[in-house]
Amino acid sequence: MKILVANIGSTSLKWRLFDCSSAPERLLHKGGFERVTDYPKAIEDCLGELKAGGHIQQDSDLAAVGFKTVVAKGVSGCVALTEEVLGAMEAFNAIAPAHNPPYITGIRLFAKRMPAVPLIGLFETAFYQWAPEAGVRYAVPQAWYEAGVRRWGFHGASHKFIAERSAELLGRPDVAERARNLYVDGGATAVQGAPLRVISCHLGGSSSITGIRNGVAVGNSLGFSPQSGLPHNNRVGDLDSFAIPFVMRTLGLSIDEVERQLCKEGGLKGISGVSNDIRDIQTAAAGGNAQAKLALDVFFHSARHWIGAYLLELNGADAIVFTAGIGENRPELRAALCQGLDQLGILLDPVANEKVRAVEGVISSPESRVKLLVIPTNEELVVARETKRLLDRK
């Protein structure tokens, strides 16, 4: 069973082809195009590469195409991408303007190109469907809530991968099984023993932190939109809502300009004035740039704030996991996040931490009550697995 996972950006198409016939799934091919101006051609070229490589003979060799869709009105989980679902995504374009519109366009092009191949979306909000209501509700008027203003949570595919994999590494196959079945049975898979408490830190171009109890998310630092929580590369993160009318009035900014600055001129780039890549910011900070140093400090402060929130909610943690570009590759940033937490039972092993880059590994010292883990995420694999589960159920 071959499943293509397509990652659609406004000017990019990336893909991975998995053979999901038996576990473990096999990655057969990955590729992509940047600076795409002709999307139908990009899809054609993608299929051409798969055929030229001998991975498929014809389009119908694909059991499905899976997409890491973001958010839709009244729809979450893993679903067939019907016109109705695409309409529900369209209804929430304003929540994820950088993600939903290109996905909708791309999915419609795939549907036109291969009408017989099932197109399936795994929504990034799916992992938070079982989070407690008190944790997802903003204190807004009921009409706002009904219109969709609530904490949705994002990066669901990544945090779900961490839920499953961390449970395996922590010797809890029961919890791994529960996480694996979550979108099929809604968490009904039984677990034995003490609850497994994991805090998953997805730190990358965009960052989020999630608390996970027994394989199920209790919440996510990303709220209503992918603009919230930690400061991101160039997107603002958490902000008091009253700042927006304030800057419109005092700086004379239009709503469109405010929106542009929040998602293009904010975040680490906004504070540092240097770059939206944390490596450049670190270099500048090391060279004495105070704004760059401040950007890093704001990032640490926010990440620790969210780790703290989930430590309390989970009544401690068995493990804190670092993943994504920064989490997997930047030991010095992991060390900064874990500094001075010995009273919470969090002790980093500096030598192990330095060694673990872009691979799985334990970076806590043996005395640490909380295990510190690095786990490279695999969002596309989660999309492929859930796509297969949906096909198997049908």
- Kindly tell me which of 163 and 333 has the beta carbon lying closer to ligand ADP: 333
Stretch 265-304: interaction string toward ligand ADP, x if CB under 6 A: ------------xxx-------------------------
Least distance (Å) from ligand ADP to the CB of residue 373?
Answer: 17
Question: Of 185 and 297, which has the nearer Cβ to ligand ADP?
Answer: 297
* Per-residue x/- track, 318-337, ligand ADP (CB under 6 A): ------xxx--xx-------
Nearer residue to ligand ADP within complex by CB, 205 or 345: 205
Q: Do residues 323 and 203 lie in contact, with contact meaning Cβ atoms separated by under 8 Å?
A: yes
What is the nearest approach in angstroms of ligand ADP to the Cβ of residue 159?
A: 13
227 near ligand ADP, judged by CB under 6 A: no
Q: Which is nearer to ligand ADP, 178 or 202 (CB)?
A: 202
**Helix (H) and strand (E) counts for the chain?**
16, 12
- Give the one residue of 166, 189, 206, 368 binding ligand ADP; rule: CB under 6 A: 206
Establish if 205 lies at the interface with ligand ADP (CB under 6 A): yes
Q: Kind of pairing, strands 2-8 and 62-67?
A: parallel
- Return the HEC string of the chain: CEEEEEEECCCCEEEEEEECCCCCCEEEEEEEECCCCCHHHHHHHHHHHHHHCCCCCCHHHEEEEEECCCCECCECCEEECCHHHHHHHHHCCCCCCCCHHHHHHHHHHHHHHCCCCCEEEECCCHHHCCCCHHHHCCCCCHHHHHHCCCCCCCCHHHHHHHHHHHHHHCCCHHHHHHHHHHHHHCCCCCCCCCCCEEEEEECCCCCEEEEEECCEEEEECCCCCCCCCCCCCCCCCCCCCCHHHHHHHHCCCCHHHHHHHHHHCCHHHHHHCCCCCHHHHHHHHHCCCHHHHHHHHHHHHHHHHHHHHHHHHCCCCCEEEEEHHHHHHCHHHHHHHCCCCHHHCCCECHHHHHHCCCCCEECECCCCCCEEEECCCCHHHHHHHHHHHHHHHC
Report the amino acid identity of residue 350: P
Determine the size of the site formed for ligand ADP (CB under 6 A): 11
Smallest distance from ligand ADP to CB 1, Å: 27
Q: How far is the CB of 196 from ligand ADP (least distance, A)?
A: 25
Q: Is 194 helix (H, G, I), strand (E, B) or coil?
A: coil
Q: Which is nearer to ligand ADP, 277 or 349 (CB)?
A: 277
Closer residue to ligand ADP, CB minimum distance, 180 or 235 = 235
Stretch of residues binding ligand ADP (CB under 6 A), selected from 72-80, 113-121, 200-208, 386-394: 200-208
Q: Does 160 bind ligand ADP (CB under 6 A)?
A: no
213/235 with CB nearer ligand ADP:
235
**Minimum CB distance to ligand ADP smaller for 212 or for 326:** 326
106 vs 204, beta carbon nearer ligand ADP:
204
Stretch that binds ligand ADP, among 125-133, 163-171, 202-210, 340-348 (CB under 6 A): 202-210
Q: Which residue is nearest to ligand ADP (CB)?
A: 325
Q: How far is the CB of 359 from ligand ADP (least distance, A)?
A: 12
The residue ranges that bind ligand ADP (CB under 6 A) are 204-206, 277-279, 324-326, 329-330
